[in-house]
Amino acid sequence: MIHELIFQAFTERSESFTPQIMMTPWKNLLLLFIIFLYSANLLTAQYDADHDYPSAQLSTSWTNNNFSAINITKPSDSSQLIMRIILLNLPSGSGIGFAFGFLSNLSSGSSFLAAASVRIRRDFLTEYVHRSDVEVFWLANRNKPVHENATLLLHTNGDLILRDVDGALVWSTNTSNMSVVGLQMLETGNLVLQDGNNRTIWQSFDHPTDTLLPGQKLMAGQKLVARVSANDWNEGRFYLSVTSEGLFAFYKSNVPRMYLNFTVYGIKESEQPSYIRSVNGTLALYMLSAEPSEPDVVLSRPVDNTAIGYMRFDSDGHFRFYNDSMEPVDLLTDVLQECDYPSICGDYGLCSNGQCSCPAGFARELVSDDQSESRCTEINPPTCENRISPSLLQLQDVHYFNYVDPDAADLKGIPMESCKQACLRNCTCKAALFRFYYNITHGNCFLPSQVLSLINERRERNVYRSYAFIKISDDRESERGLPTRTRVIIGVIVGTFLVVILLAGFYILRLRKKRDTEGEEERLIDVVDKYSEDMQLHWSEVMQMMRVAVWCLQNDFNKRPSMSTVVKVLEGTIDFEASLTDVTVTTITGVTQEQFGTSELSPSILSGPR
């Protein structure tokens, strides 16, 4: 670079300084002149960097790359975000001002047309302009990012048009043929299109995203939509809206759920639409009146309003005031407590005085990499697909943020039992929330398909009573708190044990049956006449005959065989399998009855007196 060449030349001249300087004065003068010109150039560059370029004329275009931008911010150590500045306004050369340009995420390649506040710092030696502390407060194409080499055109017809690199139309101000002559970034942070009389044709203040700058209004019918996270500017789950009745905040789900209901009662005195705005670090509500009258309500906290400040509806649903000299201030503290926010403890979380816990049988689970968000999860939850019979876990004196909405109840004026049954019959219902005054036979029933944070602060804050019945699986009690792998291992062990028990029982029965059969055989052999050679030689036939005889002598004649059956058995044409343990025999004399399974047979009993 030129300053390095000058430094080298100056060093070389210094090494041989004595007589040569006196002998060639014109060379020394030339060197001094070059140094003077370089210094003037640095001063001019410094002047240009410290001054703004807030406006642009018709038929001007810009491309989303480093060559088209006038200046580029330097990404911080923790972020890959840069801003390629198109317009810059520095009030009074303070080094803090407002910029308009392409905001790019180097890691994802996504870019947005944005307005932001910037703080300028300059490295004098390297001539590099550093802009840090970029705070985005307005986005044109919030949910439709563009890519490298996208173009922005201020058309000759007065329309400001954003197209992606493929030429697709992404966004425009729709101001063609409305006498627009130029685009300007005002020192208030408002981006405007003006006509030849400096009248505003279009302004960014009329299209807020998630931030209100001083003097900016949020009109009835408009809303602030929170971003997903600090560096993800897509629309998140929370939004704040203004109506002619007051200020309201919602959590977006399949049906928006209200968690702030700030209604202003009275007679409207002004014909102007209702609005809210930032006034000296406070949130002023003009619902019934309008300026220059005093606001109907002021929501405020002590703030230092000497620095540039702004109000932003944040990704957690809080509405805060920010400036450089203090910590953020929650503007809704007077109307909302910490546990009133829907996501404070995550799904199914119980919030008590700002502290989170989980219902019995639910486990805490982190849902973000930075461990800042968590929720309560149930093992094996009932769904419409798994067909597990559900039951309800009762939580007494537990309230829900959505109770502030008088129209949110799914069923009104019903008994508590009917509310519970309605949830059990609906597979998409995750909990039955029942709110009543004094009689459980008449109350309002809420059947959410997603259960957000629950308020577990008893009855101190509300005259109404409330029960929460969370839908769970019937078999949940036996598996409560056990992970899936543990349940599988326990199931295998229990199943194996039952199989072993069944096999052992079957083996014992076989042994017992064999023993009983052997016992019968032994008792029959005992009654065979040991002195009869014929019986000893044909003892098996004798035993068969005795079996048939006992079969025919049963007291219950229905169990006795027919004569034809006896003949077939004796002929061997059919098998005979009679158990002697259950047969009762009457002696010939008719004196006694005995069971073969309990008493010993003797020859005298079978043959009678000799």
Domain annotation covers residue 15: no
Per-residue model confidence (pLDDT) at position 522: 54
Nearest to 115 by CA among 89, 95, 94, 93: 89
* Domain limit, last residue, from 432, 452, 473: 473
- Which range among 39-53, 187-201, 217-231, 538-552 shows the weakest confidence by mean pLDDT? 39-53
Q: What is the pLDDT of residues 560-582, one digit of tens each?
A: 777 777 777 777 777 665 544 44
Q: Are residues 322 and 397 in the same domain?
A: no
Q: Which residues are registered as beta bridge partners of 312? A: 211, 320
Per-residue model confidence (pLDDT) at position 342: 95
The pTM assigned to this predicted structure is 0.68
Question: In the predicted model, what is the mean pLDDT of residues 189-206?
Answer: 96
For residue 188, give the CATH number of its domain.
2.90.10.10
Contact 43, 133 (CB under 8 A): no
Q: Are residues 72 and 197 in the same domain?
A: yes
Q: What is the pLDDT of residues 309-344, one digit of tens each?
A: 899 999 999 999 988 777 888 999 989 999 999 999
Domain annotation covers residue 307: yes
Q: Are residues 320 and 447 in the same domain?
A: no
* 509: pLDDT strictly greater than 90: no
Which two structure tokens, joined as six digits, stand for 423? 């949830």
For residue 322, give the CATH number of its domain.
2.90.10
Helix (H, G, I), strand (E, B) or coil at 594: strand
More confident of the two residues 577 and 456: 456
Q: What percentage of residues in the chain have a pLDDT greater than 90?
A: 44
Domain annotation covers residue 508: no
540: Cβ contacts below 8 Å, ≥ 6 apart: none
* Domain limit, last residue, from 473, 488, 512: 473
The sheet carrying 399-400 orders its strands as 355-357, 350-352, 454-455, 399-400
Residue-wise DSSP of 78-141: T--EEEEEEEEE-GGG-SEEEEEEEEEETTT--EEEEEEEEEEEEETTTTEEEEEEEEEEEESS
* 512: pLDDT strictly greater than 90: no
Hey, which of 93-107, 469-483, 508-522 has the most confident mean pLDDT? 93-107
Residue-wise DSSP of 246-309: EEEEEE-SSS-EEEEEEE--S----SSPPEEEEETTEEEEESS--TTSPPSEEE-----TTS-E
Q: Are residues 197 and 71 in the same domain?
A: yes
Per-residue model confidence (pLDDT) at position 349: 93
Q: Are residues 395 and 411 in the same domain?
A: yes
More confident of the two residues 121 and 440: 440
Q: Are residues 254 and 121 in the same domain?
A: no
Q: Are residues 222 and 198 in the same domain?
A: no
Per-residue model confidence (pLDDT) at position 156: 96
* 216: pLDDT strictly greater than 80: yes
* 515: pLDDT strictly greater than 70: no
Question: In the predicted model, what is the mean pLDDT of residues 108-122?
Answer: 85
Number of domains in the chain: 3
Q: What is the pLDDT of residues 361-414, one digit of tens each?
A: 888 887 665 445 778 887 677 777 766 678 899 999 999 999 999 999 999 999
Domain annotation covers residue 466: yes
Domain annotation covers residue 425: yes
Q: Are residues 241 and 319 in the same domain?
A: yes
Question: In the predicted model, what is the mean pLDDT of residues 410-429?
Answer: 94
How far, in Å, are 55, 190, 436 from residue 87 at the CA level? 6, 12, 58
Domain annotation covers residue 65: yes
**Long-range contacts of range 485-489, CB-CB < 8 Å, 24 or more positions apart?**
none
Q: Are residues 119 and 239 in the same domain?
A: no
Q: What is the pLDDT of residues 232-277, one digit of tens each?
A: 889 999 999 999 999 999 999 888 999 999 999 999 989 999 999 9
Domain annotation covers residue 344: no
CA distance linking residue 335 with residue 204, whole number of Å: 30
Note down the domain range covering 389: 350-473
- pLDDT grade for 21, boundaries at 50, 70 and 90: very low
Q: Are residues 459 and 430 in the same domain?
A: yes
**Residue written as tokens 């060197």?**
31
* Domain limit, last residue, from 153, 183, 206: 206
- Which range among 106-110, 224-228, 409-413 shows the weakest confidence by mean pLDDT? 106-110
Which residues in 513-544 are b (16+ Cβ under 10 Å) and which e?
eeeeeeebeebbeebeeeeeeeeeeeeeebbb
Question: In the predicted model, what is the mean pLDDT of residues 482-506?
Answer: 62
Q: What percentage of residues in the chain have a pLDDT greater than 70?
A: 66
For all residues of the chain together, what is the average pLDDT? 78
Domain annotation covers residue 497: no
Per-residue model confidence (pLDDT) at position 284: 92
- pLDDT grade for 225, boundaries at 50, 70 and 90: very high
Per-residue model confidence (pLDDT) at position 18: 41
Q: Are residues 309 and 181 in the same domain?
A: no
Q: Are residues 298 and 173 in the same domain?
A: no
Per-residue model confidence (pLDDT) at position 514: 59
